[in-house]
Amino acid sequence: MTSFKELKARITDSFRFERKEILTLLAAVVLTAFVFSFSDWGEDSFNAVAGLKNLFLTLLVTSISLGVWISFQKIYALSEGYRSNYKIWWPGFGISLLVAFISFGRFPLPLIGGTHTSFSSRQRLGEFRYGFSNYDNAVICFFGIAANLFLAVLFSLGLHYSPDSYFFIKGLIFNLSMAFFSLLPLPKFNGLTIFFGSRMLYYISISLILLFAVLLLSKTTIGLVISILVGLISTIIFLLTYPEK
């Protein structure tokens, strides 16, 4: 991991979303929001007003979540001399839509694709073993998991003060679901990169997701406090153990 001064310069110079990436992200936001709000168009009968309201709130959730998710990965990728871009997995959306229709929205699946990294020769110059590192790319993908868990805690915090908020409930469920399903070892999924880059990191990711899911879905104050402490301790350990260059 590079120095914070150098990282700031790299972000200023290279942090951007490409046009094709923006278009695919927009498609992912809309399709995912549709899948996750499919069952929320009225309780006993169809209600267009309630459905449109819930769809709009879910669009906010998915746009915030996917934006933060890819931004976390882009920033860490720059720190290691890579460039990260979102790659959509169209078959995944086909499966998600099919399952949503069959189950009437009871089983929303965030099969959105994953992260593609490219090698930056100038920024990687002088790095240990210089070339493309599977471990570095596993950590880049892990930062997507970290982003989902971070957002899950924030949405859970909002839910603590507003227990009936559809926005916070949907945000919590979506980010925990996204973190879990992104670990699936499927083509173009981050889980495949993490699995082959570092088995230990893969098992740590599974453990953290399960721990945060149990703590946050309990919707208790102690569960929220423990999850915040676990997140803070994990961040401190990472900053203290990861060498700064």
Which tens digit of pLDDT belongs to each residue from 37-67? 988 876 667 778 888 898 999 999 999 999 9
HSE-CB at 115 with a 13 A cutoff on CA atoms is 33
Q: Which domain holds residue 57?
A: 4-241
**pTM for the model:** 0.88
pLDDT of the residue at 7: 73
Rounded to whole angstroms, the Cα distance separating 41 from 54 reads 8
Q: What are the residues whose beta carbons fall under 8 Å from the beta carbon of 143, sequence distance 6 or more?
A: 72, 73, 75, 76
Residue 229: which pLDDT band, with cuts at 50, 70 and 90?
Answer: very high
Which pLDDT band, with edges at 50, 70 and 90, does 14 fall under? Answer: confident
What is the crossing angle of helices 221-241 and 199-217, to 10°?
160
The number of folded domains in the chain is: 1
Residue 173 has pLDDT above 90, yes or no: yes
Q: How far apart are CA 121 and CA 103, in angstroms?
A: 48
pLDDT of residue 2: 64
